[in-house]
């Protein structure tokens, strides 16, 4: 079983839509969770960390569900510029960071 | 300085060449990483250096040889590569490899070296 699993998509949504991605992890000892954004032919960039209580940054909301071992990313009022691949990254104490396969999002005019 | 700098940005090399990729960070991060990324795939871990010592080698072929001269620098020496080694090579750093510290301590990636082996 993979350490981290994501639905690869693609997700094609109209501008202004709300879209949500989930990411499941297998190691219950995982303690750090992140969402990264990667544009085509560019490096991944940290979008936001995911805190236990959930956190919001503008149009982006991240949630953590430890009981079900998944994290989620909600994007409200999608913009064309949100089109990218979104990678979840999970880390357990004493372990490396594990990447999901990425979810491709295209926001359509 | 919150950047990871990689050079060169692009590299074309023959299968008999020897070349090196370079990575530098001045954020005081104690863990540095090499990743390989093929198109439409997530980054694939190659090597981890923690406090300048190699801590993880993900069964990478010996034609890839990492080196960490000091806490700010990470090199990847390439020799006798194959065309299938063509990929984006990403360097990253983090505060600490064991994930301790505030939860917003993730990776910082360099912009990568796009390598083509001919």
The minimal CB distance from B42 to the residues A33, A87, A95 is found for A87
C-alpha A43/C-alpha B50 separation (Å) is 22
Q: What is the per-residue pLDDT for B1? A: 61
Is B113 in the A-facing interface, judged by CB distances under 8 Å?
Answer: no
The shortest C-alpha distance from A32 to chain B (Å) reads 6
Residue of B nearest to A99 (CA): B42
Give just the sign of the alpha carbon dihedral A83, A48, B113, B4: positive
Residue B71 buriedness (CB in 10 A; 0-12 / 13-18 / 19+)? middle
Predicted pLDDT of residue B95:
83
> Which has more confidence, B38 or B104?
B38
**C-alpha distances out from residue A77 to A38, A80, A82, B33, B94, Å:** 19, 10, 10, 35, 32
Confidence check: pLDDT of A18 > 90: yes
- How far is it, in rounded angstroms, from Cα B43 to Cα B38? 8
Q: Residue A10 has what DSSP assignment?
A: -
Nearest to B113 by CA among A23, B81, A26, A25: B81
Which has the higher per-residue pLDDT, B105 or B40? Answer: B40
Q: What is the mean pLDDT of residues B33-55?
A: 92
**pLDDT band with cut points at 50, 70 and 90 for residue B97:** low
DSSP category for residue A27: -
Confidence of residue B55 (pLDDT cuts 50, 70, 90): confident
A4 closest CA partner among A106, A103, A104 = A103
Contact A50 B103 (CB under 8 A): yes
**Residue B9 touches partner A, C-beta closer than 8 Å:** no
Give pLDDT, residue A93: 67
Range from A51-55, A83-87, A101-105, B43-47 carrying the lowest mean pLDDT: A51-55
């Amino acid at each position: 079983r993979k350490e981290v699993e994501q639905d690869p998509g693609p997700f094609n949504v109209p501008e202004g839509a709300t879209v949500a991605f989930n990411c499941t992890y297998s190691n219950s000892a995982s303690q750090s969770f992140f969402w990264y954004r990667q544009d085509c032919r560019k490096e991944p960039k940290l979008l936001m960390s995911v805190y236990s209580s959930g956190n919001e940054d503008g149009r982006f909301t991240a949630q953590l569900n430890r009981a079900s071992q998944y994290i989620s990313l909600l994007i409200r009022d999608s913009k064309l510029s949100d089109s990218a691949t979104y990678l979840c990254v999970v880390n357990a104490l004493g372990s490396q960071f594990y990447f999901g396969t990425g979810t491709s999002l295209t926001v359509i005019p | 300085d919150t950047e990871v700098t990689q050079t060169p940005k692009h590299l074309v090399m023959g299968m008999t060449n020897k070349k090196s990729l370079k990575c530098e960070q001045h954020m005081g991060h104690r863990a540095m990483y090499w990743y390989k990324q093929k198109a439409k795939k997530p980054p694939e871990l190659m090597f981890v250096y923690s406090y300048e010592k190699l801590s993880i080698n993900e069964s990478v072929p010996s034609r890839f040889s990492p080196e960490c001269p000091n806490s700010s620098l990470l090199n990847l020496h390439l020799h006798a590569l194959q065309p299938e080694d063509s990929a984006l090579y990403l360097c990253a750093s983090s505060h600490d490899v064991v994930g301790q510290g505030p939860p917003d301590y993730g990776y910082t990636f360099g912009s990568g070296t796009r390598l083509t082996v001919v």
